[in-house]
């Protein structure tokens, strides 16, 4: 490897340090450094590396809409494209996260996303719910308990 010019090395080190302050767990980063890093990174260098971290969610989840015929439909199994599946899953995870955080109902932007997803996958839906399957003992991850949370239809 060729030697890196010192000013370049300095820039790379400062950039990496700011990104580390932005992406590392908030508990380990002093608040002023976090604020500076957020101001620096959010616009151009936003990233997060928390997939299945610090722990994978103990409850799997998906959304179900009630069709006009009255039966509950999970659009995920019939969705063949990986990015379309990702949107459904992302909406379900966000609902799960907000409810776990103490919210009574999904936030307004999430309601908007749920409305669009519902209209696309289950037109004229009459109901919406979050279906979870929760691990009760991480040593036996195959054993899961179902949990159903009714949601307001956006």
Nearer to other proteins, 66 or 91 (CB): 91
| Integer angstrom CA distances of residue 32 from 17, 29, 136 | 14, 9, 39
Interaction with other proteins in 12-41: which residues (CB under 8 A)?
12, 15-16, 19-20, 23-25, 28
- CA 42, CA 48: separation in Å to the nearest integer? 11
Per-residue binder mask for other proteins (CB under 8 A), 86-115, x = binder? xx-xxx-----------------x--xx--
Q: What does the H/E/C string look like for 99-141? A: HHCCCCCCCHHHHHHHHHHHHHHCCCCCEEEEEEEEECCCCCC
Single out the residue of 37, 95, 117, 151 in contact with other proteins (rule: CB under 8 A): 117
Instruction: Work out the angle at residue 73's Cα, subtended by the Cα atoms of residues 80 and 130, and round it to the nearest 5 degrees.
Output: 100
Is the N-terminal amide bond of 54 cis, ω within 30° of 0? Answer: yes
Single out the residue of 33, 34, 57, 67 in contact with other proteins (rule: CB under 8 A): 57
- Which residues make up the interface to other proteins (CB under 8 A)? 2, 4-5, 7-9, 11-12, 15-16, 19-20, 23-25, 28, 42-58, 60, 62, 76, 81-87, 89-91, 109, 112-113, 116-117, 120, 133, 135, 138-139, 141-142, 144
């Amino acid at each position: 490897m060729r030697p890196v010019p010192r000013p370049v090395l300095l820039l790379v080190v400062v950039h990496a340090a700011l990104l580390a302050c932005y992406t590392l767990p908030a508990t380990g980063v002093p608040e002023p450094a976090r604020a500076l890093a957020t101001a620096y990174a959010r616009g151009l260098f936003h990233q997060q590396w928390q997939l299945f971290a610090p722990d994978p969610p103990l409850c799997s989840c998906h959304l179900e809409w009630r069709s006009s015929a009255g039966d509950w439909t999970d659009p995920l199994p019939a969705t063949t494209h990986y990015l379309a599946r990702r949107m459904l899953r992302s909406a379900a995870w966000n609902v799960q996260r907000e409810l776990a955080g103490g919210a009574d109902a999904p936030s307004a932007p999430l309601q908007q996303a749920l409305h669009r997803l519902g209209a696309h996958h289950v037109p004229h839906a009459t109901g919406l719910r979050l279906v979870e399957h929760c691990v009760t003992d991480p040593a036996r991850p195959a054993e899961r308990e179902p949990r159903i949370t009714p949601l307001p239809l956006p």
